[in-house]
Amino acid sequence: MPSVDTQARIERRRVIARILITGGAGFIGSHLCERFLADGDEVVCLDNLITGDMDNVAHLFVNPRFSFVHQDVTNYIYVSGHIDAILHFASPASPIDYLELPIQTLKVGSLGTHKGLGLARVKAARFLLASTSEVYGDPLVHPQPEDYWGNVNPIGPRGVYDEAKRFAEALTMAYHRSHGVATRIVRIFNTYGPRMRLGDGRVVPNFITQALRGEALTVYGDGSQTRSFCFVDDLVEGIVRLLRSDCVHPVNLGNPHELSVREFAETIIRLTGSASPIAFEPLPVDDPKVRQPDVSAARQILAWEPRIALEDGLSKTIAYFQERLEVR
Secondary structure letter of residue 200 according to DSSP: S
Q: Which residue type, as a one-letter code, is found at position 86?
A: I
**Residue 186: partners with Cβ closer than 8 Å, 6 or more residues away:** 128, 129, 130, 131, 238, 239, 242, 250, 251, 253
Q: Please identify, using beta-carbon distances, which residue of 176 and 197 lies nearer to ligand UDP.
A: 197
Among 287, 301, 316, 320, binds ligand UDP (CB under 6 A): 287
Among 43, 239, 261, 314, binds ligand UDP (CB under 6 A): 261
- Whole-number Å distance between alpha carbons of 307 and 231: 9
Note whether 225 binds ligand UDP by CB under 6 A.
yes
Note whether 150 binds ligand UDP by CB under 6 A.
no
- Whole-number Å distance between alpha carbons of 20 and 219: 38
Helix pair angle (232-244, 4-11), 10° resolution: 150
| Residue 295 near residue 252, CB atoms below 8 Å | yes
Note whether 191 binds ligand UDP by CB under 6 A.
no
Q: How far is the CB of 28 from ligand UDP (least distance, A)?
A: 14
Note whether 256 binds ligand UDP by CB under 6 A.
no
Among 218, 245, 260, 267, binds ligand UDP (CB under 6 A): 218
- Whole-number Å distance between alpha carbons of 110 and 84: 22
Among 86, 128, 219, 314, binds ligand UDP (CB under 6 A): 219
Among 51, 183, 190, 255, binds ligand UDP (CB under 6 A): 190
Note whether 53 binds ligand UDP by CB under 6 A.
no
Q: How far is the CB of 282 from ligand UDP (least distance, A)?
A: 9
Q: Please identify, using beta-carbon distances, which residue of 8 and 279 lies nearer to ligand UDP.
A: 279
By CB neighbour count within 10 A (0-12 exposed, 13-18 middle, 19+ buried), where does 3 fall? exposed
Strand partners, 45: 21, 68
Segment (H or E) for 278: strand 278-281
Note whether 272 binds ligand UDP by CB under 6 A.
no
Note whether 95 binds ligand UDP by CB under 6 A.
yes
Note whether 91 binds ligand UDP by CB under 6 A.
no
Taken in order 297, 301, 302, 303, the sign of the CA dihedral is positive
**Residue 293: partners with Cβ closer than 8 Å, 6 or more residues away:** 133, 143, 144, 187, 189, 228, 252, 253, 254, 255, 256
Among 107, 195, 227, 324, binds ligand UDP (CB under 6 A): 227
Q: Which of 136, 161, 175, 192 is catalytic?
A: 161
Q: How far is the CB of 183 from ligand UDP (least distance, A)?
A: 24
Q: How far is the CB of 242 from ligand UDP (least distance, A)?
A: 21
- Catalytic residue list contains 161: yes
- Give the total residue count for the chain: 328
**Residue 325: partners with Cβ closer than 8 Å, 6 or more residues away:** 198, 209, 212, 213
Q: How far is the CB of 220 from ligand UDP (least distance, A)?
A: 4
Q: Please identify, using beta-carbon distances, which residue of 127 and 161 lies nearer to ligand UDP.
A: 161
Q: Please identify, using beta-carbon distances, which residue of 180 and 277 lies nearer to ligand UDP.
A: 277
Among 131, 172, 191, 206, binds ligand UDP (CB under 6 A): 206
Q: Which residues are catalytic?
A: 161
Residues forming the site for ligand UDP (CB under 6 A): 94-95, 190, 202-203, 206, 218-220, 225, 227, 261, 283-284, 287
